[in-house]
Structure 1
Amino acid sequence: MKTLPAWLTLTADAATIQLARAAAMNGMRVDRLTLRYPTVGDVRAAEKQAPSDQAERELILFASLAGVGPRDLEGLSMRDYRRVQEGYFRLDAADDDQPVAVAPGLSPAGD
């Protein structure tokens, strides 16, 4: 089984990401972000809002799961945004031994 990074905590329902730098989320400074487990509806809503822009679709989905605005996530450093991405992909992995490379509904063109 792959060891989780120290900045990531997973439960059956959520991934909590320790940010490298505190960031403004919903008008408050936070040092961690929790993503709840996605539903089919979450993915479909993000696809509907950004049907032709994969990066925007991902941002919308992650913001929804974290309960923050997409603009809040845009204010993260790339280091912290990559942590959010990895937290999502670990949370959405089919099996802890087999991390998913791409989330459902967010697959590269051609899949």
Structure 2
Amino acid sequence: MHDSLQQPAWLSVSDDAAVVKLSRPTACNGVDVDALTLRAPTVRDIRLASKVASDDEERELQLFASLAQVSRQDLEGLKLSDYQRLQQAYFRLVRDDGDDLRADAPAGAASGG
């Protein structure tokens, strides 16, 4: 995909994490932050999110909350465009452009936008 050639200014992705700059500061864990860091998911993260969720939306919220180490309520309070940034960051984080492995394996773990 062509989106791998140009990364948005609000996003920084490494092998282990994605840092998403928010459009405005928001309270997470009782502290105002202007960025959220999603760590790379493990199989355990995907399985746990699937166990506690009743649908794809809940599963995604649970997974992102775990990866960012914030509460689901914190994520629900984000501006929609900032949440969509988290979704984009997640899919860039799990995609492996460097070899033949495919990142579609966890596709059911988080519904994307």
Q: State how far apart, in whole Å, the 1-side matches of 2:59 and 2:105 are.
A: 13
Task: Answer yes or no: is 1:47 the counterpart of 2:50.
Answer: yes
Match of 2:90, as an amino acid?
Answer: Y
Deviation at 1:70, TM superposition (A): 0.6
Deviation at 1:75, TM superposition (A): 0.3
CA contact (8 A) 2:63 2:110 kept: no
Q: State how far apart, in whole Å, the 1-side matches of 2:76 and 2:107 are.
A: 22
Structure 2 residue matching 1:105: 3-state secondary structure: helix
**Alignment partner, residue 7 of structure 2:** 4
**Alignment partner, residue 56 of structure 1:** 58
Structure 2 residue matching 1:62: 3-state secondary structure: helix
**Alignment partner, residue 94 of structure 1:** 96
Q: State how far apart, in whole Å, the 1-side matches of 2:29 and 2:96 are.
A: 31
CA contact (8 A) 1:89 1:102 kept: no
Structure 2: unaligned runs, 5 residues or longer: none
Task: Answer yes or no: is 1:33 the counterpart of 2:13.
Answer: no
Structure 1: unaligned runs, 5 residues or longer: none
Deviation at 1:72, TM superposition (A): 0.3
Q: Percent identity?
A: 51
Q: C-alpha root-mean-square deviation of aligned residues, in Å?
A: 2.2
Q: State how far apart, in whole Å, the 1-side matches of 2:50 and 2:8 are.
A: 29
